[in-house]
Amino acid sequence: MIALLLILIPVIGGLIALFIKNENTVKGFSLFISLITLVIALFGVYSNQTSELHYNVSWMPDLGSRFTLGLDGLSKILSLLTAISLPVIIIATYKNTYANTGKFFGLMFLCQAGMLGVFLSMDALLFYFFWELALIPAYFLCSIWGGERRIQVTFKFFIYTFVGSLLMLVSILFIYFKTADHSFAMQSFYHANLTASQSQWMFWLFFIALAIKMPIFPFHTWQPDTYEQAPTAVTMLLSGVMVKMGVFAVIRWLLPIFPNASQSNSSIIITLSVIGMLYASLIAIRQDDIKRLIAYSSIAHIGLMCAALFSNQQVGMQGVLIQMFNHGINIIGLWIVADAIQKQLGTKKFSELGGLAQKAPTLAILFVVMCLANVALPLTNAFVGEFLMFNGLFRYNPIMAGIAGISIILAAVYTLNMIQKIFYGNTVALTEKAYDSSFNINVALIILVIVVIVFGVYPQPMLNLTQSGVNTLITKIP
């Protein structure tokens, strides 16, 4: 029942929000709905009763698909992330105004529902449905409320991901015909009878969809533009949660369905991921735009997650699970600050900023904490995850781990460089009249900072939560 509620509440809330005209009512209502979702997600995380966590009804008997939702260790973490991020986003952007506020928040909730559906569904066709449904609201959100080049950029994003997901659909269909009982259920998929060459082909069809979504190196070109052009609240949702859909699907579907194919292709994928990490980090160093820098830094982080996943090591896998959550938290924090600066000063170029710390000390402190988390300093949440991931990657191939390690140094370079240029040094004309961040931004950032530090100092609950998920997964992989 909890699993069903997690999807139903955002859907119903979103549909209602679409038709509310009054701006303040919409915002209050949205915050309320997102908090309810959060409470339910917390219930889900702490509950252990299977009957509450699973939901299973007949849906399309003709096709062998059932409406199956379930919360296990893996989906618990991600639904928690999804449920936390929305209230934080709403608080942080509470003062932003939109034309047609009701439509904006309604679509945000529908997008959230789609993503929760992806994380909860235990049926491949249902998974595909939600995978697409998360995309449609995001497309409208970016294209209606985005920046100047929004239409072309968002369309590129849409076509890119749509091509990927159609290829994934072909793969899902193919596997369906190879399952023993002709069903889309997760367990049947795990035991599908594929020959070696079939599973190679289907692996790649499936993987391209996920590689585009994550994104992995040659498929990443949609991402920086989209993040830059989308309205900030949507960028947070996309980068914080939606890219995790790709990583998640690797863990949930790709690795268990194609254990052999993923092992034999792991060297290619890890190489691509590592190239992507270095490439993105190097580009990030050359950026003069906060938003683009964060976007590239996100590519680097996701690359590491993907590499660790295919290293086939238990520790690496566990690191990815933790890092998915933490990366979501950290990147939302960075976007909040970037948005605050852009809203206040009208620019997002470092070269036009400087000395902001003197004028906005609270913002500076909170931003520095988020940045340190982004470079995975010990005692921040990201450290645990990155440590485990590098550990896994090192066991797979020390040289790869060494090359990937360079990106950590590069991450420190560009992140600290950004802090320095924006917040320290002498004030310039633009920052002369700057003032400190507003109350709602502080609240949102403080929530995130608390999460960062709590899970940095005491990661054990997170490790426990992921342990079960990883254990069941490892047994699937030879």
Please report how close the Cβ of residue 151 comes to other proteins at its closest, in angstroms: 5
Using CB under 8 A as the binding rule, whether residue 346 contacts other proteins is answered as no
Task: Give the three-class secondary structure for 123.
Answer: strand
Give the residue with the Cβ less far from other proteins, 202 or 389.
202
- Angstrom CA distances, 179 to 64, 143, 147, stand at 11, 40, 46
Q: Which stretch binds other proteins (CB under 8 A): 162-170, 235-243, 254-262, 339-347?
A: 162-170
Whose tokens are 């003069």? That residue is 288
Please report how close the Cβ of residue 390 comes to other proteins at its closest, in angstroms: 37
Give the residue with the Cβ less far from other proteins, 56 or 440.
56
Residue pair 90/31 in contact by the 8 Å Cβ criterion: yes
Span 117-136, contacts to other proteins by CB under 8 A: 128-129, 132-133, 136
Cis peptide before 215 (omega within 30 of 0): yes
Q: Which of 104, 140, 157, 248 binds other proteins (CB under 8 A)?
A: 140
CA-wise closest residue to 107 among 25, 28, 13? 13
Task: Give the three-class secondary structure for 93.
Answer: coil
Please report how close the Cβ of residue 208 comes to other proteins at its closest, in angstroms: 11
Q: Which stretch binds other proteins (CB under 8 A): 37-45, 165-173, 283-291, 439-447?
A: 165-173
Residue pair 123/61 in contact by the 8 Å Cβ criterion: no
Six token digits for residue 253: 């579907």
Q: Which stretch binds other proteins (CB under 8 A): 169-177, 370-378, 452-460, 464-472?
A: 169-177
Give the residue with the Cβ less far from other proteins, 200 or 427.
200
Distance between CA atoms of residues 435 and 74, nearest Å: 42
Please report how close the Cβ of residue 60 comes to other proteins at its closest, in angstroms: 6
Using CB under 8 A as the binding rule, whether residue 72 contacts other proteins is answered as no
Rounded to the nearest 5°, which phi and psi values hold at 287?
Answer: -80, 150
Please report how close the Cβ of residue 201 comes to other proteins at its closest, in angstroms: 8
Please report how close the Cβ of residue 16 comes to other proteins at its closest, in angstroms: 16
Please report how close the Cβ of residue 55 comes to other proteins at its closest, in angstroms: 16
Q: Which stretch binds other proteins (CB under 8 A): 139-147, 213-221, 323-331, 433-441?
A: 139-147
Using CB under 8 A as the binding rule, whether residue 15 contacts other proteins is answered as no
Give the residue with the Cβ less far from other proteins, 43 or 59.
59
Return the HEC string of 24-63.
HHHHHHHHHHHHHHHHHHHHHHHCCCHHHHEEEEEEECCC
Helix (H) or strand (E) holding 69: strand 65-70
Strand partners, 56: 68
Using CB under 8 A as the binding rule, whether residue 163 contacts other proteins is answered as yes
Span 204-223, contacts to other proteins by CB under 8 A: 205
Six token digits for residue 2: 């909890």
Q: Which residues of 213-252 are buried (b: 16+ CB within 10 A; e: fewer)?
A: bbbbbebbebbbbbbbbbbbbbbbbbbbbbbbbbbbbbbb
CA-wise closest residue to 150 among 159, 139, 164? 139
Span 422-461, contacts to other proteins by CB under 8 A: none
Number of residues that bind other proteins (CB under 8 A): 30
Question: One symbol per residue from 33 to 62: x for binding other proteins (CB under 8 A), - otherwise; what is it?
Answer: --------------------------xxxx
Six token digits for residue 92: 């942080």
Please give the residue ranges that form the binding site for other proteins (CB under 8 A): 59-63, 128-129, 132-133, 136, 140, 143-144, 150-151, 155, 158-159, 162-163, 166-167, 169-170, 173-174, 176-177, 201, 205
